[in-house]
Amino acid sequence: MLSINMTAAREHLVIALNGEVDASNSVELDEVIQEALSGSVQKILVDGRNLEYISSAGLGVFMSYLEDFREKNVAFVIFGLNEKVMNVFHILGLDQLIHIKNTQEEAEESLYDA
C-alpha cells in the first residue's frame, strides 16, 4: 500500500510517501516525480517519515532521476527515513548520491542554503 501526497510550500514541493514502495506501485512514485520535474520547481523535498519499506524497484525510481536532477539543477532532499529504510539506501550506496536528512528543518535548511 502506498499513498503519495504532493504539497507546495514556499519555493519547494513536498512529496510525502506513506506506506510501502514495491514493484507493484513504484510506477506511481515514478509518475509523481516526473510530474514534479515537469514544473518549474527547483527544489524537491521527499517526506519519508511514514515510509515503511522500499524495495529495489522503488530505489530504482530515485536512481533513474539522479541524472535529471543534476541536469536541471534541481535540489532533491529526502528526510525522516526510519532506520530500516535508511539502511536500504545506505547499503545500495544511494546515501552517497542523495542528500538524506533526519528532520524537515535540516532538509529545508539544506535546500535553501545550497
Partner 1 sequence: MAKLPNIQRGKIYIMLAILTWFALLFVDLVRLFGEINQMEGGISREITWILEIIFFIVLYLYFGDSISKNENSNFLNLIWRAASTGLMATITSFLIIYFYYLLDGSRLSEDPLLRNFFYHVNFALTSLFLISSALLWKHLILYQKSKAVVQQWQAYEVILLISMFFVLINQESYDYGFMFGLIFLIIYGIILSVNLKWIPYLTFREKWKSILFLAIIIASTAYLLVQLVSYNQKNIDFVNLSENLFLLGLFAFVLIYAVFSFLVTLFNLPTSSVFEQKLTEAISFQKLSQSIQPGENEEQVLDILMDSSMSAAYVDAAWLELHAQVEEDQPGKILHQKFISNGERQDLMAILKKTEPFASYLNEQEGGKLEYIYGKIPHETFQSVLIIPIRANKKILGDLFLLKEVKDGFNKEMINIISTFVGQTSISIENYRLLNEAIKNERYREELEIAQRVQRSLLPSELHHNECFEIDGFSAAADEVGGDYYETYRFDRDHFALIIGDVSGKGTSAAFNMSQMKGVFHSLVQLNLGPKDFLTKANSALSRCLEKNNFITTTYYTVNTREKEIRFARAGHCPTLFYSEERGASRFLDIKGMGLGIVRNLSFEQYIEEGKMNYLPGDVMVMYTDGIVEAKNENGQEFGYDNLRNILDRNYHLSAREIRTKIIESVFAFVGKEILPDDDYSLLAIKFKA
Binding positions for partner 1, rule: CB under 8 A: 23, 30, 56-57, 59-61, 63-64, 66-67, 84, 91-94, 96-97
Of the two residues 58 and 108, which places its CB atom closer to partner 1 in the complex? 58
CB 38 within 8 A of CB 9: no
- Coil, strand or helix at 23: coil
Least separation in angstroms between residue 63's CB and partner 1 is: 5
Adjacent-strand bridge partners of 29:
none
C-alpha cell of residue 64? 533513474
CB 56, min distance to partner 1, A? 4
Residue identified by cell 506501485 is 25
> Would you say 38 or 96 has its CB closer to partner 1?
96
